[in-house]
Every structure is written in structure tokens, then in C-alpha cells.
Amino acid sequence: MTTLVLSSLIAPDALDRLIVPLSGALELGLLYGLVAIGVYVSFRVLNFPDLTVDGSFPLGAAVAATLIVKGVNPIAATVVAMLAGAIAGLCTAWLNVQLKILNLLASILTMIALYSINLRIMGQPNVPLLGQTTVMTLLEGGLKQLPSVLSPFGTSLVLLAIVVLVKLGGDRFFRSELGLAMRATGENSDMARAQGIATHHIVLLGMALSNGLVALAGALFAQVNGFADVTLGVGTIVFGLAAVIIGETVVSGTTIFWATLGAIVGSILYRIAVTMALNTDFLGLETQDLNLVTAILVALALVLPQYKRIKWRFR
Amino acid sequence: MMKPLGLIQPQSDRPVRWPLFLGRSTIAATTLTGLFTYGCGQTATTPGQAKAPAIAVTQIVEHPSLNAVRDGLKAELIQAGYQPDQTLKWQWESAQGNPSLAAQIAKKFAGDNPNVVVAISTPSAQAVAAAAPKLPLVFSTVTDPLGAKLVSNLQKPGGLITGVSDLTPVDKHLQLITQITPKVKRIGVLYNAGESNSVSLVKLLKAAAANQKLEVVEATVANTSEVANAAKSLIGRTDAIYIPTDNTAVSALESVIQVGVQNKLPVYAGDNDSVERGAIASLGFDYYDVGRQTGKLVVRVLRGEKPGEIAVETPTKLNLTINAKSAQQMGVTVPEKVLSQAAKVIK
């Protein structure tokens, strides 16, 4: 088996076959790593099952693509896209804390609304960005300086820098007083309120943060892949969840540092697993089966913690 | 420490005993095993096929029309002497309606470096154009290749991209409608504003209608459950309903036909399958034929022509289909002159 792997690595053609798709998996993994951190904030920290992300991901893509086509600086467009996502998150949180709509339902309402809003923003269902100046083409000159071994990973390096910044910023935030208040709110909102934490404001802030990150991922997705499409959000929440859960499986640690790292690693591993499904007949799996495999993986991971808790009780 | 997501309610106090193999480490182990076998899988396909040309096909979703395109493509290649798995390396992936998966498939193709990539549908073609700009690309069923920024010129696309657009001839459809029902002045068009194809078609329809002094009344829907209501909203505001090749509207076609029959409002369609299902008439193409037309372009590229020098084509084979039974139910008499031109009349 080992010799087979080695021989496939030696042929230059096979090397391409391995590296280019892997660089693609890394790109998408890092992109969706931002989604995973966002989902981590809503699901794990705030304990808020948030389907808004299925709408805020294409929202980020729509806003960024539309502004870029209109000639706005791509960096400014990306920032505006992130703010738009934050507003979407605020809407969901407001529906929940102010109007007392069940959290899951509140997020579904925003998600549905965003479909129409995204169409309005783009004016059409698909905005192509091929040939436009994007964050990536801005950095193209710099990326050409890379040694040839690293050249397929140029985009990944840019995304890595962004993801690392977001991760470290997030870690810092969650160690601050405000961040700790957010974690307390998610853990036990009654207790948090008793400690004088304005839990409503915390939920608003957390959801804005979460969806802002998801929209940032959407904006970058559009710029890396050359288009924004109204259907872009399909299954974002499931991918985000899968990433968070795979991350927790692989990276075990109790601090925020490890948790956010896990989300990113989980996202990359998920994409590598997809590449694998695209490349092998391993277990007879094909691309068509991917949604099923993801669903089973997420369902398993939703159930496993329960099993763990019960085990502790009987220890 | 892991916290439950709160989506699962504890069912009882009785401890649930899970089989041991369901551990977290199992998932990790499976992923790693998969990664390892991934490396092995590579070698299994490479030997002995170095000389055979490779073609990689990506498709946004599995859907009867798109599958027909794929089958037509394959049939044309076989007719040209390329036998899949023998003299041709054939590879096909579906993104299951997920654009991020389409991007990943495109990246995989970039690594495989096939002789030609065929992208069926707009998002798939855009994903390939972005992820694998160095590969010859033949797209198919892209309604508006200019609007999608795939090519900058339909006659001389330049670069490495050409293909077949599935633009339905809406101007000819309008002519057909006025030929069969000359009294029609206002045409209601029912479509999903979230479908690129439909939006492009309606834009063209409006331009063509203005030329023929017709008025277009729009009714948009977001999903199939809204189609019946949208059709009803057209009663009294229009003299006929036209259903373009819109996935949502066509999926719920029967509800429109019902409105047409009950209100004697003629319903026309952009594709022939819809005529079989009850629309009065259409001048449509077969997606299988579009696939064959795409295949002809692929063969030209495989034989050394540069994609950028091949003009983008639109469906050449158009068949007039008429549903005489529906026409009668909707109070329409189809003129003999039109009937005689029909390739198929449903009675």
C-alpha cells in the first residue's frame, strides 16, 4: 500500500492531481472555516440554533459582488458585505429577544426574507465576477513572487491570513469581559442576568458577530470563485455544523483557543473528505452521496455528546 | 468540554447504551483512513490510459433535462469513435445543486488536467472558468453566456471557452402564439425571479414583444406552491399565459393548465415536454439534441481546434409540438396551416 502511495506521488502528473484538488479543498475549507467560527459563536457559545447563515452567506456574496461590479474597491465592498451580514444577524436576534419568537423560527424567518433581499440586491439571480478586480486580483502581483511549489496555494495563503486574524481576534474577544459575559449568557441566561449581564444585548451582539463572519465568508467565496448566486447558501448551516463537530472530534481541548482552532480544522477536514469522495470509489461512495454522508455525520455527532454526558453520570 | 446542542431532548432517565464503535475517535479514524486510501485511489486509474483523451463533465444538479444533455454528449462522442473507458477517459460529477461543491469539482478537474472540460449549466461553467482557466471549456445549457461573463463575443469567443447556449427562441414563440390566437394582445409570463435563465428569457421576451406590439404582464413565484396562485392572478389581466423554460413554473405546470382550462385562457410553453403535459403549443428543442450538438463541439476541440475560434451555438433543431386536446379545452382552434407544420400533434 505504501509503495502505491509513493509511486503515485512520484509521477509529476499524479502530483498535480493530488495538489491542485487539495489546494481547492484548503481554499474552501478556510473559507468555510469563517462560517464554522460563526456557527460556533451562535450554536456553541450562545446556544442559539441559527439558520440565518443560509441567507447571510449569499447575502455577503451578493453585496460584495454587486458593489465590485459597480466599481467599488473590493476591500471596502467586503467590509460592507460583512456589515450587511451583521445586520441580518441583528434582525434574527431582535425577532427572538424583543418579539419573543422562538429562536429557530426567528432565524428561519430572516433566512426566507434574505432570499428576496438578495435577489433585490443583485437585481438578477447570478452576478459574475470573472475578470473583475477582487481582493484576490489585488494581491496577484504579490502572489506571483511565491516559489513555484507554493503557487497553487496562493489563494489559500491569503485566506489563511484572514482566518488566522479572525481566529486570534475572536479568541481575544472571548477572553474579554464582554466575551465572558457572552459565554455566561449561552451557558445559563438566568444566572447571567442575575449577575447583572444585559443578556438581550449580548444575544444581539453575538448574532451580529456570527452572521458578520458568515457574510465575510460569502463575500470572499464570490471573489475567489468568480460569481455570486442566489442559491449559494444551500446547506451552509449543515456544513458549518459538520465543521464544528468534526473539529471537536479531532481537536480536543477545553479553551476557546482550541475550540476555534477545531472549527477551522474541522472545516478543512470536511472539504478534504469531499475531495476524497470526488476522487475515489472508496466504499463505493460518489459525489451524489455526499449530502447523505454529511447528514449522517452531523446526526451522529449531535447524538454522541449525549452519550458522553450519560456516561459521566454513572461514573 | 462538549455541550449538547439542545436540539435533542433527553428522552428518559434510563441510560442509553451506545455501541462502542460509535466513538468520536471512529470518525477521526474514518477520515484519516479515507485520506490514506485517497492516495491509493489515484494510481488505480492512471496506468494504461496515458494516451486516451480525457474529458471531464460537471453538472450543477441531476435533472431529467440536464441528464439528457449528458447522455446526448456521450452518444455523440461514441458516434465520433471515442469509446468511454476504452479510447476515451470519461469522468462525470454532479454538484447536487450546491455551488460550493461545483467550485470544488472544478478545482479537482484543474488537477486532473483533462483535454476538455464540459460544464452543464451556468454556475458549473463559471466555477470552471474561475478555478481552471487553463483548461479548454465547452459549456452547455448556459442561457446567457455573455451575461454570465463566460465569453465576450458569441461569434469569436477567444481564449479557451466555447459552447452551446440553450436560449429558447422567444421571438419565434411570440409569433407562434399570435399565429394560433391572433386576438392575444397581453401575454402573462409566469416564472421564478430566482432563476437566472428565466430572468434572461423574460428580458428578451419583453424586447421581442415590444417589436410585435404585444404587452407582457409578469407574475413571479419563489417556489412551486405559489404557481397556482400566480396563474390565477393573471386571469383578466392577460389574453394568454406563456411559461418559459423555468424550473419552478414547469414543475407545477398542471396547476397553470387547470387555470387555463377553467378560464378559457390559452397556455403556451417554451418546451415541448410541457405541451405533452397540457400546454397548447411550443417550438422547442430536445435537451438530448443539445447534448449531441455540444458533443460535436467537444469532438472539434479534441481534434485540435481552438475553443476560442469556435462560435457559440444555439439549438439548431426546433420542433413544433401542438396539443390539440388542450387547445380545444381552452377554447382555441388551431389553424390548419399551423397544424400542418407540426412535428407532433397530441390528440
pLDDT confidence of residue A56: 97
**pLDDT for residue B176 is more than 90:** yes
Are B321 and B346 contacting, i.e. CB atoms less than 8 angstroms apart? yes
Residues 6+ apart with CB under 8 A from B215: B185, B186, B187, B209
Tens digits of residue pLDDT in B40-67: 444 444 444 446 899 999 999 888 889 9
> Cβ–Cβ contacts within 10 Å for residue B24, how many?
20
End-to-end C-alpha distance for chain B, whole angstroms:
69
Q: Identify the CA nearest to A51 among candidates A108, A102, A3.
A: A108
Nearest to A149 by CA among A309, A16, A308, A296: A16
Task: Inform me whether the C-beta atom of residue B36 falls under 8 Å from chain A C-beta atoms.
Answer: yes
Residue among A245, A41, A226 nearest A131 (CA):
A226
Q: Which amino acid is at A78?
A: T
Collect all residues of chain A within an 8 Å Cβ-Cβ radius of residue B122.
Answer: 126
Which of these, B275, B276, B278, B272, lies nearest to B259 by C-alpha position?
Answer: B278
Q: Is B37 in the A-facing interface, judged by CB distances under 8 Å? A: yes
Give CA separation, A53 vs A104, B238, B288, in Å.
Answer: 12, 40, 38
Q: Which residue of A has its CA nearest to B43?
A: A8
Band the pLDDT of B10: cuts 50, 70, 90. very low
User: Please, which pLDDT band fits residue B203 given cuts at 50, 70 and 90?
Assistant: very high
The pLDDT of residue A309 is 56
Is B152's pLDDT higher than 50?
Answer: yes
SS3 B120: strand
Q: CA Rg, chain A, in Å?
A: 20
Q: How far apart are CA A295 and CA A239, in angstroms?
A: 9
Question: Would the CB atoms of B111 and A11 count as touching at under 8 Å?
Answer: no
Strands laid side by side in the B186-192 sheet: B215-221, B186-192, B240-243, B267-269
- Beta-carbon count within 10 A of B210 CB: 11
Least-confidence region, from A74-78, B34-38, B116-120, B272-276: B34-38
Cβ-defined contact of A27 to B107 (cutoff 8 Å): yes
Mean pLDDT of all residues in B2-25: 43
User: Residue B136 is placed in which grid cell?
Assistant: 479548454
| Per-residue pLDDT at B71 | 96
pLDDT of A90 > 80? The answer is: yes
Distance from CA of A86 to the nearest CA of B (A): 22
* Closest CA of chain A from B292, distance in Å: 24
**The C-alpha cell that represents B248 in the structure block:** 419552478
pLDDT tens-digit map of B278-304: 999 999 998 999 999 999 999 999 999
pLDDT band for position A16 (cuts 50, 70, 90): confident
Q: Which of A95, A58, A105 is nearest to A216 (CA)?
A: A58
Give the strand pairing for B186-192 and B215-221: parallel
Of B175 and A272, the structure prediction assigns the larger pLDDT to B175
Span A50-75, average pLDDT: 96
Contact status, residue A13 vs residue B113, Cβ threshold 8 Å: yes
What would the mean pLDDT of A206-214 be, rounded to a whole number?
97
Residue A285 confidence (pLDDT): 67
Whether the pLDDT of residue B180 is over 60: the answer is yes
Question: Going by C-beta distance under 8 Å and a sequence separation of 6 or more, which residues neighbour residue A211?
Answer: A38, A50, A52, A53, A56, A85, A86, A88, A89, A92
Give CA–CA dist B26/B18, Å, rounded: 13
Q: Per-residue pLDDT for A293 more than 80?
A: no
CA–CA dist B41, B123 (Å, integer):
28
Q: Give yes or no for B20 touching A (CB within 8 A).
A: no
Interface test with A, best of B59, B63, B108 (most A CBs within 10 A): B108
Q: What is the C-alpha separation between B106 and B103, in angstroms, rounded?
A: 5
- Whole-angstrom distance between the N-terminal and C-terminal Cα of chain A? 42
Which pLDDT score, from 0 to 100, does residue B211 have? Answer: 92
B66-115 per-position pLDDT tens digit:
999 999 999 999 999 999 888 999 999 988 888 888 999 999 999 889 99
To the nearest whole angstrom, how far is the Cα of B95 from the nearest Cα of chain A?
7
Whether the CB-CB separation of B95 and B105 falls below 8 Å is answered with yes
Question: Quick check: A6 pLDDT over 60?
Answer: no
- The mean pLDDT value of chain B amounts to 85
* Grid cell of A229 as nine digits: 448566486
> Per mean pLDDT, which range of A106-110, A275-279, B307-311, B339-343 is the poorest?
A275-279
- Angstrom distance (rounded) from CA A287 to CA B93: 7
Cβ contact B147–A128 (<8 Å): yes
> Does the pLDDT value for residue B165 go beyond 60?
yes
Confidence bin at A249 (pLDDT 50/70/90) = confident
CB contact under 8 A, A226 and B129: yes
Q: Is residue A215 within 8 Å of residue A63, measured between CB atoms?
A: yes
Task: Quote the pLDDT of residue B8.
Answer: 44
Which residues 270-329 of B are in CB contact (within 8 Å) with A? none
**pLDDT (average), residues A140-155:** 78
Region B166-186 average pLDDT: 93
Q: Would you tell me which residues 180-219 of chain B have a C-beta closer than 8 angstroms to some C-beta of chain A?
A: 193-196, 199
Mean pLDDT of chain A: 87
The SS3 call for residue B161 is strand
The tens digit of pLDDT for each residue in A260-274 reads 999 999 999 888 888
Q: A248 near A9, Cβ under 8 Å?
A: no
Residue B209 is predicted with a pLDDT of 95
Q: How confident is the model over A32-50, as a mean pLDDT?
A: 95
Look at strands B89-94 and B54-59 and give their pairing: parallel
Q: What is the DSSP string of B56-100?
A: EEEESS--HHHHHHHHHHHHHHHHTT--BTTTBEEEEEE-TT-HH
pLDDT at A24 over 50: yes
Q: How confident is the model at residue A2, as a pLDDT?
A: 47
